[in-house]
Amino acid sequence: MKLTATAPFQPLAELPPHALGEREWLLECHCARHVTDLLKSQGWDVVPDLDCNVHCSSPDQRVYVGFLPESQEAARGELWHIHVTDNDGTTAWRQTFGPDTPARAVAGFLAALVAYPTRYCSCV
């Protein structure tokens, strides 16, 4: 199975210098829709629960993304949870994002994860 990002990845080196100095950076938007729309477009399961949390699973069930505004973790500053498991089911790595992280930034992080479907880095 091959996953592709919905928008092509453009490295910073390809952007003209003035584009970085004159832009407005992401500062707001904390709804889950930007992330869930991206993941749904890639065939992920997206399931809201009765507490307004949203749980997402990749098609191979090895990546979990949780938007957990009504959880104990959110009270500690962990609104977004991303867990990647290895082939044997053990946690390979995890990442959390707090409530101050714009949802579009989380979507960008996930788009980069989806855009690179191989587990190995070419520089190693």
Q: Is 97 helix (H, G, I), strand (E, B) or coil?
A: strand
> Residue 2: pLDDT above 50?
no
> What is residue 116's DSSP assignment?
-
Q: What is the dihedral of CA 106, 63, 12, 9, to 10 degrees?
A: -110
Q: Is 63 helix (H, G, I), strand (E, B) or coil?
A: strand
Q: What is the pLDDT of residues 42-57, one digit of tens each?
A: 999 999 999 999 999 9
Element (H, E) at 76: none
Q: Which residue has the tokens 């009765």?
A: 50
Q: What is the pLDDT of residue 21?
A: 66
> Residue 20: pLDDT above 70?
no
Q: What percent of the chain has pLDDT over 90?
A: 60
Q: What is the pLDDT of residue 23?
A: 66
> Residue 36: pLDDT above 70?
yes
